[in-house]
Amino acid sequence: MVVCLLVAAGLRLVALEGIPPGLHYDEAANLILAGDIGLRGERPVFIASYTGKEPLFFYVAGGLVRLLGERILALRLAAAFTGLLTIAATYRLGVVLLGRRQVALFAAGLLAVSFWHLVFSRLGFRAITLPLLQALAVIFLYQGLGAREPAGRRVGLFLGGLFLGLAGYTYLAARLFPIVLLVGAIPLLVKPSLMRRYLPTLAGVVGIGGIVLLPLLLYFAARPDAFWVRIQQVSPDETALTVWEGIGRSLLMVGFRGDPYWRFNLPGMPLFNAFWFALLLIGAGLLAGRLMRSRRPVERSALLLLLAAPPIMLLPTALATNEILPSNLRAIGMLPFLMIWPAAGFDGIISWFRPGESAGRMPGTLFLGGFAALVLGGILLGQGWLTGRGYFTNWATRADLFYENDADLAALAAYLNENELPGEVFLAARFDRHPTVAALAHAYDAIKWLPEGQALVFPPERPATLIFPHSVPAPEWTAAWLQAARVETGPAGPDGRPLFTLYHFDRPPEVLPPMARQANFGYALEVSGYAIGTGTGGGGLPLTVFARVLERPAAELVPFVHVEDSWGVRWSQIEADGYPSRQWTAGERVVQRFEIPLPAGMPPGFYRVKVGWFEPASGQQVARFDAAGRYGGTALIIEAVPVLAGPPPDRKPRAPRGERIAIRPDLEVLGYEPFPAEVQTGERLGVGIWWWATAAQPRLIARYELLRPDNTGIILADTQPAYGTFPFDRWGPARFVIDRQLLTIPHTLPAGDYRLQLRVLGPDGKNLQKFPLQPLRVIASERAFELPPLGKRVDAAFGGEIRLAGYNLAESEDEWNLTLVWQAIEAPAADYTIFVHLLRPDGSCCAWQLDQMPLAGQKATGGWLAGEVVEDRYTIPKGELAPGRYPLEIGLYLAESGIRLSVDETDHVLLDPLILR
């Protein structure tokens, strides 16, 4: 064991601060968190940042940070020492579970020279603590169960419960560890006599573990989202691999095809080579045979746990089908149990040649003769040399690993620590406030961030430096402005390219948009124009927005871009924060690029692009004002943006719902997009059909039918894809098309259960095929057509479509309760937004305001019938209002354009909103 630990220490401690190179985002974040605990007094039960982290490792690393300073060496030393302790614990685990020191030594030796374990013993990741705490919990649990002395039994069981509870503070995969113990406990509970003997003992262990884990459990009870957030991110969904595919790939990682990710493996290398994988299978068989022969409950329990632990702890990677799969990181819970399997197989082979032993037996006597010692020494030295060469020569020197570990940003941080740059410093990086720079750069707080390098910022009349590291080079679209800068490059990386490039500006360049268009967003940002290209289905649509900062907003603002068709159906959206608003300074010129992804199958045509900003905390979109300061909606609208049809994918896409049905030999319906199961009469139902054609098509007809259970019903529409703008006979020889339609449910349709069906008709009108969609429940809309009593009649018509018949106003000490009574003159042509503004006594806006669709969005005007009456209620707080008369300003407008409906009151057309005095 001394030799084993010395070999392990040599592999784990040499050049620890420099290998692996750089400081990856995750490690840098962990270093900051360890510094928070070790230096800045944080004492978390659970770390909510960075999608949530269990804290045990960070307390260990925090202690070393306190001793050594906030250096990567302190973080990695915590991992290395934990790894060495795990090797020692593996030896003890083998002795306790199997009573075989030789097997235990082989298992410890295998772990000492395991490439898998070596990688995580040299990275500052919390996952390295999970194998150690699992091993300690099992060691002391079974030492307690097998102890003859009551004192030793109590101590063992207490420590087993202690480490069981502490395991919950290690890593996400620890949540499956209790299942391992539960399976292992089955032989102790299968008979009433055994249950009476062992159940109180096991319950005590669980109780101790629960007490230790109680602070974390209380934390999750108060914040359930913290428990589920990471699980939901990696769990299967409709677009990921199936669970069975995940399990299959994860099983292959043991001996055939391993983790493909450079950061944690030589891509594709399995956990064991063919020799050790064969011994692993032999060992599993020998352990299973011993389990079948054993009659001692504790021994059977230990063997069953040893066999059950690896497949159960494989599930964290097998079920993470939304992430890299298989993953050495998520499978780390299999350690150290899995190492005992090939060790048992190797010991079984040696047993065949041992004098005095019958073939195939696994004796319990201590034997470490010359042959076994020679073999173990060979494993440590030979396999240790291979692992060291694989790690230090083949893995750690890779250029892709160098950049994957953010070594370019680490070099940039060193440059910034040695050089003071004049003026503002803007840094492009893959992530906002990149932890690598935060952990290493002294002037971190002075840096302004350009996430993904998708924005340029120029301060007014001040020097500025824009920095693009190797990982985020300056995009081509920036060349027109960056060519005016003085360029400085950093040292060359392993691929010969500069690790970073600095663009120094003594004064800002001229920034003029190709298409001028002014829009003021919340008096915080003024858009001056844009440049937009041509989109392609399955590709993207480039958009560049030019803006000037007016002031830093009080709340965080994030830009959004929506792509809609002429019928208001959204095809794509993006929320790309190229220059976070918390950094804005008045006068800055911002040029931001949006690469808007367009889905494959998007019909060609002209689309509408909306650009705006919103508050993530509330979801509220920022108001846009025109040059006169009038409200103009919430977005800058760019009309008639061309989108071309893209080529079909290489293989048939998988539709979200439905089975494929052939319409013709060269035309299929692949499925459809889900739609609501209930709809009210008068509403529009959005459907999306996925078509796949391999040859030119005739002019077919798509008929949408609503059928009752007796197959009677109505025809909702006879149409062509994209409302006839991209008919079947224009598709060409091969095409994938997503056809999204808005189907109006007639106001007169009786309520009940229906089935929506697509029927395809040929050019002659004859039926070719029908495609059943999902069931649909139609609900009769509750409507009123009689006016209620009115406290004040108004009779003001808006746009000739809707009239405000009158209103009722009730006043209390703290608020006014306003009820506006609307009546549709005719069926409104669109969904309008109502604004209610409480003006100040001098007529300025606004003491209070609210913009929304009627009934808080539950009664959109587009679904009103002619003559329908809608009572819309508002509660207006008085707050700190001074005494006086406060007029009410009422109006309707189109949200996308801000265009207001004109008001016709008693034969007089008003250009301004209706004022209620």
**Any idea which of 8-12, 339-343, 539-543, 614-618 has the lowest mean pLDDT?**
614-618
**What order of strands is seen across the sheet that includes strand 735-744?**
661-664, 667-673, 684-693, 735-744
358: pLDDT strictly greater than 50: no
The neighbouring-strand residues paired with 776 are: 754
Residue 355, preceding peptide bond in cis (omega within 30° of 0) = no
DSSP 605-626: EEEEEEEEEE-TTT-PBPPEE-
Phi/psi for 351 (5° steps) reads: -60, -25
Residue 909 confidence (pLDDT) above 50: no
Residue 10: what pLDDT? 95
Write down the pTM of the prediction.
0.81
Select from 679, 673, 689, 674 the least CA-distant residue to 745.
Answer: 679
Tell me how far apart the alpha carbons of residues 554 and 284 are, in angstroms, rounded to a whole number: 63
- pLDDT at residue 144 above 80? yes
Q: Tell me how far apart the alpha carbons of residues 458 and 57 are, in angstroms, rounded to a whole number.
A: 42
**Number of neighbouring beta carbons within 10 Å of residue 140:** 23
- For residue 507 the two structure tokens come to 């004064």
**Picking from 65-74, 734-743, 871-880, which range would have the lowest pLDDT averaged per residue?**
871-880
Q: Which of 79, 161, 97, 113 is nearest to 5 (CA)?
A: 113
The answer to whether residue 910 scores a pLDDT higher than 80 is: no
- At 907 the pLDDT is 44
707 or 912, which is more confident: 707
Comparing 502 with 863, which gets the higher pLDDT? 502
Mean of pLDDT values over 470-498: 95
**Across 892-914, average pLDDT:** 67
Instruction: Classify 286 as helix, strand or coil.
Output: helix
* The pairing of beta strand 535-536 with beta strand 636-644: parallel
In this structure, the chain runs to a length of 917
Q: How would you class 409 by CB atoms within 10 Å of its CB: exposed for 0-12, middle for 13-18, buried for 19 or more?
A: buried
Report the mean per-residue pLDDT for the chain: 90
Q: What is the pLDDT of residues 873-894, one digit of tens each?
A: 999 998 878 888 888 888 888 8
DSSP 344-403: HHHHHHHHHTSTT--TT----S----HHHHHHHHHIIIIIHHHHHIIIIIIITT-HHHHH
pLDDT at 20 (0 to 100) = 94
Other Cβ atoms less than 10 A from the Cβ of 55: the count is: 21
Tokens of 190: 């299968």
- Residue 526: partners with Cβ closer than 8 Å, 6 or more residues away: 518, 519, 520, 547, 548, 550
> What contacts 106, CB < 8 A, 6 or more positions away?
342, 343, 346, 347, 376, 379
Tell me which of 108-117, 225-234, 555-564, 743-752 is least confident.
225-234
DSSP per residue, 823-870: EESS--SS-PEEEEEE--TTS-S-SEEEEESGGGGTS-GGGPPTT-EE
pLDDT at 366 over 50: no
Q: Count other C-beta atoms under 10 Å from residue 57's C-beta.
A: 26
| Residue 871 confidence (pLDDT) above 70 | yes
- Tell me the β-bridge partners of 824: 802
Report d(CA 901, CA 77) in Å as an integer.
Answer: 69
